[in-house]
Amino acid sequence: MPARQVFSGPVCLDTAFNPTMIKKRGKDKKGDVCPFWAGYLLLCPLRNLVHNPEKILRPYVKEGMRVLDLGAAMGFFSLPLARMVGPGGKVVSVDVQGRMTESLKRRAQKAGLLNIIEPRTCNNTSLGIDDLSGEIDFALAFAVVHEVTDVSAFFSEVYRTLKDNGELLFAEPKGHVPSKKFERSVDIAVEEGFKIIARPRIFRSKAVLFKKKGESFTS
């Protein structure tokens, strides 16, 4: 039986920069993908006006935490996350494009954060995070799940990495991802064991905060 395909293409979309047009311009024979150059658009300082990492993530991320950034691209969220967790924490940043990962590594080194950020390149069938089982306090999947071909496998892998009561913030761009598709992804996450805790308000996004249900689960 062939391995299940998790990703159909690179992951780095966000409504602040018209992802639909980015995908059309980056289309190749494999289908609609986010091209490498689009990663630079996602680092635009103006993006902080609509998706400020500190405001979005500070309620969930504390110093010393181990964090997983999925579809990290060039690190729009990864670098701020590294500053939030500090020297005693760790940010594992995963992306399917090696060029994105290398760019993130250079940016982290320049910012003096490479001792905190661990860039990883995944592949089409796995996130490559099996070694993190039960180690992650918080995971972020921001504008990435709609690029995933096997959503069940994605949420299952993330679930296994989380500690009991660990949290996952799942967000998708409004307009680009239909409500029906978003809610189906939410249902799949619940089927994989997650519990819905809240639906945070994020500009031009649909979002759900999940928690891992374990033996020590507290609501």
Q: What pLDDT, in 10s, does the model give residues 171-213?
A: 999 988 999 999 999 999 999 999 999 999 999 999 999 999 8
Calculate the dihedral angle through the C-alpha atoms of 90, 162, 160, 126, rounding to the nearest 10 degrees: -40
In this predicted structure, the answer to whether residue 16 has a pLDDT above a threshold of 80 is no
Burial class (CB in 10 A: 0-12, 13-18, 19+), 112: exposed
Ramachandran quadrant class, 7 (left: phi over 0; alpha: psi -120 to 50; beta: rest):
beta
Give every CB contact of residue 190 below 8 A, 6+ residues apart in sequence: 196
Choice among 4-8, 74-78, 115-119, 183-187 with the minimum mean pLDDT = 4-8
- DSSP E strands, the chain: 66-70, 90-95, 117-121, 136-142, 162-173, 194-198, 205-212
Domains and CATH numbers, the chain: 15-212 (3.40.50.150)
pLDDT tens readout for residues 126-139 = 999 999 999 999 99
Which residue, chain included where needed, has tokens 């994989």?
192
pLDDT value at residue 26: 38
Selection from 101, 110, 100, 53 nearest residue 76 by Cα: 53
